[in-house]
Structure 1
Amino acid sequence: MKRKNEQTIPEEQSVKTEEEQFAEFEEEFNENNSAEKPPELVNPEDKKERKKRKKYISAVAAFVLILGVGVVGNWYYQNTDVSSTIQPLIDSATEKTLGKAELVDATTTDVSEENTYFTKARMERNTARDTALEKLQTVISNTSETEAARTAAAENIARISNFITIENKI
């Protein structure tokens, strides 16, 4: 029997083994996790910000890449023999001006032949109309003609003049 005044020895106290401590910890951990709701893994606003950030980073990366290619290309152009073969072509292009005979193909004479064809056709059409109009005017001015012939001639003159105005508009 224990006396009231005696203290208990630590060996007599119930000492838990490591396995028991681990089992208690595991129970507490499972209880705490099952009671809580799972937190939202991703906030929608964070998603939008990440998307914007990714777009910004990709745009900057593309710009830097293009700039790098330009710098490397310029360095390559200045430090190789490519510049010596291209430079005379660039210089000769800057010396030429538009309108010089060098830039115009001198073998094209089809344009002048086409212009003369259309000019001749226009002249022939005008002379044919003029002769027709003169004949119709003589019919109108001749007093010996019937009234029906005069009105028919006047209608033909009006019709020809309408054709002339339409062709001029075209």
Structure 2
Amino acid sequence: MKDKLLDIYKFMTQVLIIFSVTLLFITFNGIFLGEAAKEYSTMFSLGNKGIAFDTVLQVLLSSIVVSLINHVFFSEKIFKNMMALWKSILMIISIIVAIVIFIICFEWFQINLIEAWIGFFISFGGFFLVSTAIMVTKTKREAKKYDELLESYKKRHNK
């Protein structure tokens, strides 16, 4: 029971982090580009005045979907024998497909605008690089901590 609650807590934390970062990104884009983009994108329907409630809920739903995809690919129940590299590649492809579905369904931007797609892939790539850098840094810190704990344990028990 405690493990399930911890899993739910971790999942909700991930959803809220993705949701918050995405809303901040949309907010800053809206401040600077909102008036020009409101003709082309439902995300910026209010121009630089804010984000519509329906857009906020769409971003929340997309954050849940992205977190679910991440959970599916990195749970040990489904893809336990797959290399982490392949899990990551398939997860990224799945997330891109899911976001493209959101773009089309919610008309986040006109699908025939090449500039919008370029912006999407640049933004997605930027988010991916930043999140990868954070994950690598976190993993290195944790590995260093565990190495230090192991060394400490060895010193205490090898006397």
TM-score by length of 2: 0.27
Which one has a bigger Cα radius of gyration? 1
Name the structure, 1 or 2, with higher relative contact order (CA <8 Å, separation 6+).
2
TM-score, with normalisation over the residues of structure 1?
Answer: 0.25
